[in-house]
Structures are given as C-alpha cells and as structure tokens.
Amino acid sequence: MSEIIKEFLKRFKIAKKSSKSMFITGILLFLFILFLYFFNYLYGYDPLEITNELFSPPDLIHIMGTDQLGRDIFSRMCYGIRSSLTIAFIATFISLIIGSPIGAISGYFSGKIDRVFSIIFDALCAFPGIILAILISVMIGPGLITTSIAISVEYIPQYFRIVRGLTLSLKERPFIEALKALGSRPKNIIFNHILIYAIPSIIALMMLNMGSAILAVSGLGFLGLGLPPPIPEWGTDLGRGRDFITIGVWWTSTFPGLMIVMSIVAFTLIGEGLKEILGNKIIGIKD
C-alpha cells in the first residue's frame, strides 16, 4: 500500500507541473461548489418559500432573482447542489461496489463466469445510458434513491472493465502465485491483494463519473423524471425556467445551466488530471 501512495505522489508532482492550470481550475471550481453548498446555511431565504415577488430580476436582495412562484433562485441553486451531488455520489458509489467486485471475480476465475459477465456488461455498454436511466426512472418512479439507481446502471460496466483488466494482468504474477501456493483463499487474494491496486484508477474514474452523473441527474430532472417537486434540483429548474425565456425572463434558466456546467467542468478537470497522473501504467505494479 505504501508503494502505491509513493508512486501516486511521484506522478502527481510530475503531472501537476505539466497541467497546472487544469488542476487549479478544477480545484477552484470544486471549492466554489462546496462554498455554495454550505453558504445556504447563512443565506436568509428558504428555497421553498413562495412570495409575491414574481420574476424579480437579479439585484442586491435576490442575487439571482426569483422564479415564477417568487422563490429565491440563489437559494434554490445552493440547495440544488445538495441534491445533485448526493445523487451523483450515491450513483457512483453503487456502481463502484457492484462493478469492481464482479470485475475482480470475473477476471480471477475466467472461464464461463467471465464470459457470462462480459456479455452482460457489454450489452449494457451498447445501450445508451440516458435512455436506460429514463426507462428505469419510469418503471420505479421519481426519488433520490431511485434516481441514483437509475443512473448507476450506466457506470457499472466501466468499473467492471477496469478491475477485470487489472485482475487479468495481476493473477499470473509471482506474488499471486505464491499466495495461492501458501493456501490463501480466492476471496482473500481478490479483496486484499488485487482490488487494492485498483484504488488509484477507481478514484480517477469516480471523479469523471461524478461529472457525468450530475449531467444525467440534470437531464432526468429536465425531462421531469428526477426528484419530485418542489425539491430544488438544477435540471428541474432549468426545464421550468426555459418556458419564460421568450418573455425576457432569462435568469430562471441561465443560472441553473451555469451551475450544471461549472460542476461538470470541475469534476471532469479533476478526473482528467488524475488520469494524467496515472499515465498508461497501473500504479504500484512494476514491469
């Protein structure tokens, strides 16, 4: 484990020099998102409070204006961060805990087990992710957990492929053969000596998936299949706000759209940076 951390830090220093602006931009955007996440506790407006100030433009009182029900948009954007990040994290975590162990088991035992799992996940990859999420959302209904499950199905094959490929390259290595000779159980070898090497690659993939999941959450909300109203959510607010662009009310759709873009860019830059740190080799494995 210590060798993995040392190699990771070594690559981080090298990558940071070559892509400094990318890291700084991603981290700053991420910190800004976290700031808004907690700033809502200090902000004096309830995101669900309906007032008579309909379509009030951005000013010093309402930083991002108000919507068609007089609700403060800035407060809804801050609260919407919780919804989007929570769903994105749950979806990514579900994908991780399902795809990674199955990938390790499939690669370790190979044979019929590997062929069956490979066919299943290849079929999932061939199916458009957003269409699959829409179908699942329609079948199981709206909600935080159900939306997370609908989105997670798209990312499970990605973890499966990464861990399976790593396992196939590791299982014939001398130290794995030595563990087998000493009588170590497959379960112990997979979870204590193989999956641990996939941690850096999984972290990079998680960052990329977080950005993609936020886009998927917003897409479902835009179509009316995400969180049920009146829960603040960027995609839902964007979908409702677009109806008022033609009458000159631009802020109801502009600010939700900006929040979606900023979040996706932040996680994508961080994920791409981690991919560059990892390079083309698997951390902790010497050729």
pLDDT tens by residue, 217-246: 999 999 888 888 888 999 999 998 988 988
Q: Are 133 and 220 in contact (CB under 8 A)?
A: yes
What are the structure tokens assigned to 240, written together?
């409702």
Written in H, E and C, the secondary structure of 13-62 is HHHHHHCHHHHHHHHHHHHHHHHHHHHCCCCCCCCCCCCCCCCCCCCCCC
* Between 263 and 7, residue with greater pLDDT: 263
- pLDDT at position 159, please? 93
How many residues can be counted in the chain? Answer: 287
The enclosing domain of 145 has a CATH number of: 1.10.3720.10
Q: Are 105 and 195 in contact (CB under 8 A)?
A: no
Residue 62 in domain: no
Domain count, the chain: 1
Q: Is 206 exposed, middle or buried (0-12, 13-18, 19+ CB in 10 A)?
A: buried
Residue 251 in domain: yes
Please state the separation of Cα 82 from the chain's center in Å. 13
Domain coverage including residue 151: 2-44+67-278
Residue 50 in domain: no
Residue 58 in domain: no
Residue 261 in domain: yes
Distance of alpha carbon 11 from alpha carbon 14, whole angstroms: 5
Distances in whole angstroms, Cα of residue 90 to Cα of each of 42, 138, 207 = 26, 19, 13
Q: Is the pLDDT of residue 29 over 80?
A: no
* Between 109 and 30, residue with greater pLDDT: 109
pTM of the entire structure? Answer: 0.82
pLDDT, tens only, 161-205: 999 988 988 888 888 888 888 888 888 888 888 888 888 888 888
Residue 55 in domain: no
Residue 216 in domain: yes
Lowest-confidence range among 12-21, 123-132, 192-201?
12-21
- The residue with tokens 């499966």 is 160
Residue 51 in domain: no
